[in-house]
Structure formats: C-alpha cells, structure tokens
Amino acid sequence: MSDKHMSRSAEMYLKAMAEMGPRQAATVSRLAERLSVTQVSANEMVRRLDEQGLVTHKPYKGISLTLKGRQAAGNVLRRQRLWECFLYDHLHIEWAHVYEFACLLEHATAPEVTEALAEFLGNPTTCPRGNPIPATDGTFSPVDGIPLSSAAVGVRARLLAVTATDTEVLKYLQDRHLLPGREVILRESAPMQGPLTLEVEGREFALGMNMAEMILIQPLASH
C-alpha cells in the first residue's frame, strides 16, 4: 500500500503544501506556481498523492493534507530545517543560500541521520529563518506571529520568521537585515497595496507587499 519510500518530487509537493500553511488554501495552480511546473503537471501529481492517501483534492475547493500527508510533510520540513541549522551554524553558509542547499539534502537523509543530526545540533526548535522544526513524529505548530503585510502603520515589532524560500528573495531580505530577531518599525504604508516603508537598524527602505506577506512579526508593546 504505502510505498515506504517517497520520491523527491512527491516530497516537494507535500512540503510546499505544509509551507503554505493553513493561511492560504492550497490549489493546483498555487502548487504549480510554487514548484515551477505547469498546472497540468501539478494536477497529475496531486492526483497521484490523492490516490496514495496523502492529500485530499476537492476540485474547485482546494487541496488539503491528510493526517498521513501532514506527517510526511512534517518529516521533510524537519530534515530541511535541521540541515538549515547545520549549514548556517556550523558550515557558515550564507543565510540566503541555506534554504536551497538544505532543500537538496532533505531528500537524501535517512531517519537515523536525521535524529543523529538533531542530537548533534542540540535539538533546535527553529531554523535560521525562524520557522519551527517539527518533532520526530512530524508534528509542529505554526509560528505565532502576524504577517508584516497586515501590521498597522507605526508599529514596532520583532521579526519572528521569514517564510520565503526563493534564494533571490532571501538575498534581498538579507541585504536589508530583515532577519529573525531584528526589530522592525513600520513607518508608512502606500495605498493600493503599495510598498511599505520600513526601518530596520536605523535604515529606511521600501518593501513590496508580496514580500511583506512572507515575514512574520510579533508587535512590541509601545512603552
């Protein structure tokens, strides 16, 4: 029944669904976009995953992970984020590149290696992008923060996590010191979904709404 071993592709589809989170509903088109394949290809894979009992696809309604699929996705995320920690903390790989390199390793990691790696790292709970590292059973709770895109002008906040995965985007954020732990002030919000004006470490700059959606913050009590 369940094939024990899952293909790289299948793992990436499941991980993509988990990464999108419960915030936005997964659809075939969104998956296609995220995985850089055509909608037809994404549709085929979703059908296969549905047949394997990993996702449930209700046409025109959305796709959701089954319990089995959620666990499988959690396991991929665990491997992914543990490798991110290793690459960043021990190999000193540039922050913006860590995701893409870990994204290769995540599919080539035996369970024994995963657990030994977690042990080696001291069982970290978050990756360098601030996202939670699922437990051994694949379970995890989402980051307790709000998207920067939905914050009110004038708010001062702690950056909790970056959900972006694209290296170019990460590089952009890295260059502007928009990293977990930093303090961010939202100075201005242009109308019509226009860019935000942020202040980070004394520097001001504009950030588009699409990127702001991929940054989770914790507003700080204004003293």
Partner DNA sequence: GATAATTTTATGGCTTGCCTTATTATCATA
Partner DNA sequence: TATGATAATAAGGCAAGCCATAAAATTATC
Q: Considering the complex, state which of residue 167 and residue 189 has its C-beta at the smaller distance from Mn ion.
A: 167
Q: Considering the complex, state which of residue 8 and residue 90 has its C-beta at the smaller distance from DNA.
A: 8
User: Whole-number minimum distance, CB 155 to DNA, in Å?
Assistant: 30
44 binds DNA (CB under 7 A): yes
Give the residue, chosen from 14, 28, 164, 200, that forms a contact with DNA under the rule CB under 7 A.
Answer: 28
Q: What is each CA distance from 120 to 17, 85, 90, 114, 131, in whole angstroms? A: 29, 11, 11, 10, 19
Own/partner long-range contacts of 51-58 (Cβ < 8 Å, ≥24 apart): 52/2, 52/3, 53/2, 54/10, 54/14, 55/14, 55/17, 57/28
3-state secondary structure of 158: strand
Query: Which of its own copies, Mn ion, DNA, none binds 124 (CB below 5-8 Å, type-dependent)?
Result: Mn ion
Query: Rounded distance, CA 144 to CA 146, Å?
Result: 7
119 binds its own copies (CB under 8 A): yes
Q: Helices 8-20 & 39-51, crossing angle to 10 degrees?
A: 100
124 binds its own copies (CB under 8 A): no
Q: Considering the complex, state which of residue 89 and residue 213 has its C-beta at the smaller distance from its own copies.
A: 89
Q: Could you give the string, one character per residue 74-113, with x where binding to Mn ion holds by CB under 5 A and - elsewhere?
A: -----------x-----------------x--x-------
Q: Considering the complex, state which of residue 44 and residue 201 has its C-beta at the smaller distance from DNA.
A: 44
Q: Which two tokens stand for residue 111?
A: 């369970």
Residue the block writes with tokens 């914790």: 218
12 binds its own copies (CB under 8 A): no
User: Whole-number minimum distance, CB 7 to DNA, in Å?
Assistant: 2
Residue the block writes with tokens 């923060």: 145
Distant-in-sequence, close-in-space partners of 163: CB < 8 Å, separation ≥ 6: 19, 21, 129, 131, 214, 215, 216
C-alpha distance across the termini of the chain, in Å: 58
Q: Considering the complex, state which of residue 44 and residue 204 has its C-beta at the smaller distance from DNA.
A: 44
Residues that bind its own copies (CB under 8 A): 87, 90-93, 97, 100-101, 104-105, 107-110, 112-113, 116-117, 119-120
Residues that bind DNA (CB under 7 A): 7-10, 12, 27-29, 35-41, 43-48, 57, 59-62
